[in-house]
Homo-oligomer: A and B are copies of this chain.
């Protein structure tokens, strides 16, 4: 009967006969048995073990998840999901125990992450979303945070701002650090020595607190490391009666849906987050198909989206 299910040789007579039996018995093939026989399962894993606050503070991770899920659904591949509800060590061992997943997609935001270390050491095919500089032989999908941040700060310079502050992302993350690097690089190039850097943790409250401190230092522009952070900057500015962009230009990072609807609309860096998830899924499937051992690296483009939070004085909102 297995011959007729898959395209084996079988006469038309028996084929229809078998099919009718399958129909009436409501037959469902046992995937565990099939997997045991074939060695393949058609299931991959996704590990999103991040700080709960990060996962919920902005839609970054749900967009990533959606991109991964969409690509896998297209390719008829199952998705096992692990999130950060245990210790990283515990999650890692749960993942490695789950021997029927053929490969893993794992977020790699922190510079230091035992899950990523363990996955790479285990030899199971793995694609990282993001990457650390010391992951020499890892496959990953990422954007160029340094270049994107540099472009944004250059834009702030272009519109004539010179006292440019930066509210960082989470300092434990590679993306956060890289955006700081890009910030400094742009100012270095412009020969500007004054720097205003405060920690923001990628959160709205972080942006609020950071903005308050930067306002005190007399900045005329703020590059926030995320759109959520920029939201906090807006709130602080509203409380202080500071006009955007007239008094202080504000820029974010991500181009989440709400960025265009902020008041004024937020200048930001567009990174196509679902595309990163899609890219990771497709890359993993490619690796599994070809079982090629060379690492695949994909750097997705970003785009500067200039809106009224850095462009000439429209109607203030305060």
Contacts and interface: CB of A to CB of B under 8 A. Distances in A.
A274 to B, nearest CB: 10
Contacts of A62: 55-56, 59, 61-62
A36 interface: yes
A118 to B, nearest CB: 13
Interface stretch (A81-89, A247-255, A264-272, A287-295): A81-89
A62 B74 CA distance: 22
A66 B48 CA distance: 11
A99 B52 CA distance: 32
Secondary structure class of chain A's binding surface, majority of residues: helix
Contacts of A28: 96-97, 99
A52 B36 contact: no
B78 A83 contact: no
B86 A82 contact: no
Interface in A62-111: 62-63, 65-66, 69-70, 73-74, 76, 78-83, 85-86, 91, 94, 96-100
A7 to B, nearest CB: 17
Nearest to A45: B78
A271 to B, nearest CB: 16
A187 to B, nearest CB: 33
A56 B52 contact: no
A267 to B, nearest CB: 20
Contacts of A56: 59, 62-63, 66, 257
A65 B81 CA distance: 10
A16 interface: no
A58 to B, nearest CB: 10
Contact of A85 (B73, B78, B83, B99): B73
Interface in A19-38: 28-33, 35-36
Given A62-B62, A73-B91, A80-B81, 20 more contacts: A28-B99, A30-B100, A31-B32, A31-B97, A31-B99, A32-B41, A32-B100, A33-B36, A43-B80, A55-B66, A56-B66, A56-B257, A59-B62, A65-B83, A66-B83, A69-B82, A69-B83, A69-B85, A73-B85, A81-B81
20 contacts: A28-B99, A29-B99, A30-B100, A31-B32, A31-B100, A32-B33, A32-B36, A32-B41, A32-B100, A33-B36, A55-B66, A59-B62, A61-B62, A69-B81, A69-B82, A70-B85, A73-B85, A76-B94, A78-B80, A78-B98
